[in-house]
Amino acid sequence: MNAKNFYIVATAPNEPSLQVKISGPYLTEQAARADLDAAIKEAADIDPSAENYEYTISKVESRKPGVIQHMAAHACP
C-alpha cells in the first residue's frame, strides 16, 4: 500500500472540521468513484444520520483503512 491513497471522506453537515475516512484506501480516484454509492449506503446502514453528510474523494497520506474496511476486518463470525 502506498503512503498516499484515495479515500472516501464524510464531512459532518454542521461541523466541517469533522471528517472521517469511511472507505479506502483506493489506488486510483476511479476505483473510489466506482465504490462511492455503495460506501454511502453502507455508512447509512451503520448510522442513519450518515445520509446528511457530504462525501468527497480525497488523496490523503495514511496507511489506516477507512471505517467500513476496519469494521469488516473486525466483524464477529
Segments forming the whole domain that contains residue 23 = 4-73
Say what the pTM is: 0.79
Q: Name the band, by pLDDT with cuts 50, 70 and 90, for residue 38.
A: very high
Q: What is the pLDDT of residue 39?
A: 93
Number of domains in the chain: 1
Q: What is the pLDDT of residue 32?
A: 95
Long-range contacts of 45-53 (CB under 8 A, 24+ apart): 46/71, 50/10, 50/22, 52/13, 53/10, 53/11, 53/12, 53/13
Query: Residue 17 corresponds to which cell in the numbers above?
Result: 472540521
Q: Which phi and psi angles does 39 have, rounded to 5°?
A: -65, -40
Q: Name the band, by pLDDT with cuts 50, 70 and 90, for residue 74.
A: low
Closest to 26 (Cα-Cα) out of 40, 50, 43, 9: 9
Q: How far apart are CA 8 and CA 23, in angstroms?
A: 5
Q: What is the pLDDT of residues 20-35, one digit of tens each?
A: 898 999 999 999 999 9
Mean pLDDT of 51-70: 84
